[in-house]
Chain A
Amino acid sequence: MRIDRNRMTTEEKTQLELHSLYQKYGYSRYKMGKFEEYDLYLRNKDFIGTENIIAFSDLNGRLMALKPDLTLSIVKNYRYRPGFVQKVYYSENIYRASQNSRRYREIAQTGLECLGDVGLYDTFEVTMLALRSLASIHSDYVLEISHMGVVADLLRDVETEVQDRIVECIGEKNIHELRKVAEENGIAEETIRALEMLVSTYGDHKRVIRKMRELPLTERGREALDQLSDVVSLLASYKMASRVNIDFSIVNDLTYYSGILFKGFVEGVPKAVLSGGRYDRLMSRMGKKGGALGFAVYLDDLDRMEGSDREYDVDIVFLYTLEDDLGAMYKAVRQMIQEGSTVLVEKEIPEKLRYRKLIRLDGSEVVTVEEND
C-alpha cells in the first residue's frame, strides 16, 4: 500500500526522511531497548546533563533506568577496530525531566554516530548530514558550528572550576559576566580580550575564521581552527555553506567534548532541534579507543511549526442508518478511498469534527448533504 505523506505529522515525515538520508550514506540502523543499567548514567551524569532519571530495579535486583540518552549506550557497546569507522543511526524515545514543569517527558530522537578512526572526511560527512537533516525539516534553517579546541586552548591555564564558569558565560554570550569572572580569578587581560572577541564574533565563516586567526592561540588551538576551516571550505566548495554560521557560543562540557560542535535551528521552533559534536573524551573516559562524533535531532517540537496543522480532520463523513444497504455503503466507501479521500463512517456526526463533505445513502445512491470546500 502506498503511504500518503500529506497525512503524516511533521514528526513522522521528518523521521522517515532522516532514515532514508542516513541510509543513503551507508549508515546502518542501531536498534536499542528502552532500558539500560542505571550505573552508566551515574558515571557520566555530566554528559547527559540531567540527574533526573527514571530508575527501577529489575527482577534480579539490578538498578535499571529508562534511557535518558542514546549515545552512551552506543559507546558502551562499541568495539574498536583499527582503521575502521562504525557508522550507525538510531531513532528511539528517551526519557528526561523537563526543566520547567518538573515532569518526565518522552522525547523522540533520531540521530547518528561515527565511531572509530574518525578523519576529516567523516567530520565533513557528519556536518553535511546535519545540514541536510535541517533542510529536510524546514527551508529556513541555520547550522551553527563551533570548536571546543579553540575555547580549551584559550582557557589552557585556567583551573577547571573557573573554566566551567567561563564556558557558561560564553554559552550565554554574556560578555559583562565573563569579564567579571575572569578578572576576579586573575586571568590575564590579553586572554579576557581574546575571550570577548570569541563571544562577539559570529556569523559568516570566512570572516569569523579570519578574525580568529588573530587570537593568541598555541599549536593546539590553531589546529582546531584549521579543522573548522577545512570542513567549512569543503562545504562551501559544494555551495552548502550559506546556511552555516560559526558561533563559539555553542559550547559544551570540556570533560567530554574536544572538537567540533553543532547546533541546528529551524524557523518557528524556539530552541535547537539538532545538537551534537565530537566527543573523543567520552570515549577515553569509558575506556574506548578511537574518536567519535555524531548528532541528534529532537523531533518532539516540530509539530509546533507553522503549516503543520491540517484544515480538515477527515475528507468525508458518511452518515448511515441501520436500514441502509451495508454492501452498497462499503462499495462507495472503498471507491472514495481508492480515489484518495479519507472516509469516516458514522451514525452521528462527531462533535467538533472538521470535514470537507458530508454524505449519506439514498436507496443505493450516494447523495451529498453538506460541502465545506
Chain B
Amino acid sequence: MKKMINVALPKGRLGKKVYDMFEKAGYECPAIREDNRRLIFENEEKGIRYFWVKPTDVTIYVERGAADIGIAGKDIILEYEPDVFELLDLNMGKCRMAVAALKGYHDNPERTLRVASKFPNIASNYYARENRDIDIIKLHGSIELAPLVGLSDVIVDIVETGKTLKENNLEVIETVVPISARLIANKASFRFKTGEIEAIRDALAEDVTKENMKEAPEAVKTGGEQKGGRR
C-alpha cells in the first residue's frame, strides 16, 4: 500500500499557488478548492493529505513530524533554523531580506546600531558576520514605522517591490539574502517514505524548470529585478 504523505501548506496566496503546482504534478485534491473552513484535505488514492497552517508554523509542523513535507519561505527557515531537509527551491514567492533606513541615513560605526525586525535571528546573524555591535528590537508588524519615530536606526525586513518603503521615505541600504519558497522535509519521514517524497520533489522540480524557461527572457528584460508575489 502507498504511504500517505502529509503536506503542510502555508495559508494565503503563496499556499494557493503552491497547491496549483502540486495539482499540476498529479497530486490533486479537488475538495481543497471548495470554499469552506476545513483545515485538512486528503486524496487517499493519490496518497496525499494537505493541511493549511500559518506560514510561520510550517517549519514547526515539519520538524516535529506532524507533516512529512511542507512549503516554507527561506526567511522562516533562516529565522527558526529547523532541523529539516531543504529539498528544492520552488523559485516562487520571490523577494529579498534587506536592511532599510531613512533616505540619506548615514551609519555611525562608533555607536551601537539599533535594528528593528520581525526576524531577530536573521538580523543578528547578519550583523555578527559584519562584525557590527547591534541592539535588536523584535517587533511583530509595521516594522517600517520604527525608524520614522526614532525607535531604531535601521530595519531588517522582507522587501518585494519596495513600494511601502518608498511611501514612507525609506530606502534599501543592503540586501541580506534573497528569499523564495522552499520544499522542506522531516528528516525521519524522508527515511521511511523516501520513494514517495522523492517522487513529489521530482515532479515539482520538473515544473520549476519549465517555469524558469518561461521566465528567463523576461528576467533579462527587467535586468533580473525580483518579481513580487508574496504577501
Question: Residues of A contacting B41 with CB < 8 Å?
Answer: none
Tell me the A85-109 residues at the B interface (CB within 8 Å). 99-100
Q: Is B117 at the interface (CB under 8 A from chain A)?
A: no
Instruction: Check A173 against B87 for contact (C-beta < 8 Å).
Output: yes
B65, B81, B85, B191: the one within 8 Å of A142 (CB): B191
Instruction: Check B83 against A271 for contact (C-beta < 8 Å).
Output: yes
Residues of A at the B interface (CB closer than 8 Å) are 99-100, 140, 142, 144, 172-174, 176-177, 203, 245, 249, 265, 267, 269-272
C-alpha spacing A174/B182, complex, angstroms: 10
Q: A100-B60, A172-B84, A203-B194 are in contact. Are A270 and B188 (CB under 8 A)?
A: yes
Instruction: Check A265 against B85 for contact (C-beta < 8 Å).
Output: no
C-alpha spacing A142/B188, complex, angstroms: 9
C-alpha spacing A265/B64, complex, angstroms: 14
Q: Give 7 A-B pairs besides A174-B87, A269-B65 with Cβ atoms closer than 8 angstroms.
A: A173-B87, A177-B89, A245-B191, A265-B187, A267-B192, A270-B186, A270-B189
B83, B87, B192: the one within 8 Å of A265 (CB): B192
Q: A173-B85, A173-B87, A177-B86 are in contact. Are A269 and B188 (CB under 8 A)?
A: yes
Instruction: Check A271 against B188 for contact (C-beta < 8 Å).
Output: yes
Cβ contacts B58-94/A at 8 Å (1 or 0 each): 0010011110000000000000110111111100000
Question: Residues of A contacting B81 with CB < 8 Å?
Answer: 99
Q: How many A-B residue pairs have CB under 8 A?
A: 47
Q: A100-B60, A172-B85, A172-B86 are in contact. Are A271 and B192 (CB under 8 A)?
A: no
Minimum distance in angstroms from B91 CB to a CB of chain A:
9
B66, B80, B86, B191: the one within 8 Å of A144 (CB): B191
- What are 30 contact pairs spanning A and B, CB under 8 A? A99-B81, A100-B60, A100-B63, A142-B191, A142-B192, A144-B191, A172-B84, A172-B85, A173-B85, A173-B87, A173-B190, A174-B85, A174-B87, A176-B89, A177-B86, A203-B194, A245-B191, A249-B85, A265-B191, A265-B192, A269-B188, A270-B64, A270-B65, A270-B66, A270-B186, A270-B189, A271-B83, A271-B188, A272-B187, A272-B188
The A interface, classified by DSSP as helix, strand, loop or mixed, is loop
C-alpha spacing A333/B11, complex, angstroms: 57
Q: Nearest 5 pairs between A and B by C-beta?
A: A270-B65, A174-B86, A176-B89, A173-B85, A172-B86
Minimum distance in angstroms from A181 CB to a CB of chain B:
12
Residues of B at the A interface (CB closer than 8 Å) are 60, 63-66, 80-81, 83-89, 186-192, 194
Question: Residues of B contacting A100 with CB < 8 Å?
Answer: 60, 63, 80
C-alpha spacing A140/B188, complex, angstroms: 12
C-alpha spacing A271/B185, complex, angstroms: 12
Closest to A245 in B: B191
B65, B80, B87: the one within 8 Å of A271 (CB): B65
Question: Residues of B contacting A267 with CB < 8 Å?
Answer: 192
C-alpha spacing A172/B83, complex, angstroms: 8
Instruction: Check A176 against B88 for contact (C-beta < 8 Å).
Output: yes
Minimum distance in angstroms from A52 CB to a CB of chain B:
14
Minimum distance in angstroms from B121 CB to a CB of chain A:
11
C-alpha spacing A269/B188, complex, angstroms: 7
Question: Residues of A contacting B80 with CB < 8 Å?
Answer: 100
Question: Residues of B contacting A144 with CB < 8 Å?
Answer: 191
C-alpha spacing A269/B189, complex, angstroms: 9
Minimum distance in angstroms from B3 CB to a CB of chain A:
11
Question: Residues of A contacting B85 with CB < 8 Å?
Answer: 172-174, 249
Minimum distance in angstroms from B211 CB to a CB of chain A:
14
Q: A270-B65, A271-B65 are in contact. Are A173 and B86 (CB under 8 A)?
A: yes
Question: Residues of A contacting B84 with CB < 8 Å?
Answer: 172
C-alpha spacing A269/B81, complex, angstroms: 20
Closest to B189 in A: A270
Instruction: Check A265 against B86 for contact (C-beta < 8 Å).
Output: no
Question: Residues of B contacting A245 with CB < 8 Å?
Answer: 191
C-alpha spacing A10/B192, complex, angstroms: 21
C-alpha spacing A245/B64, complex, angstroms: 22
Instruction: Check A270 against B63 for contact (C-beta < 8 Å).
Output: yes
Closest to B65 in A: A270
Minimum distance in angstroms from B201 CB to a CB of chain A:
10
Chain A CB count within 10 A is highest, among B65, B66, B189, for B65
Question: Residues of B contacting A270 with CB < 8 Å?
Answer: 63-66, 186, 188-189
Chain B CB count within 10 A is highest, among A173, A245, A265, for A173
C-alpha spacing A249/B86, complex, angstroms: 11
C-alpha spacing A174/B187, complex, angstroms: 13
Question: Residues of A contacting B186 with CB < 8 Å?
Answer: 270
Question: Residues of A contacting B64 with CB < 8 Å?
Answer: 270
Closest to B192 in A: A267
B66, B88, B190, B192: the one within 8 Å of A140 (CB): B192
Question: Residues of B contacting A174 with CB < 8 Å?
Answer: 85-87
Closest to A177 in B: B86
Question: Residues of A contacting B87 with CB < 8 Å?
Answer: 173-174
C-alpha spacing A245/B192, complex, angstroms: 11
Question: Residues of B contacting A265 with CB < 8 Å?
Answer: 187-188, 191-192
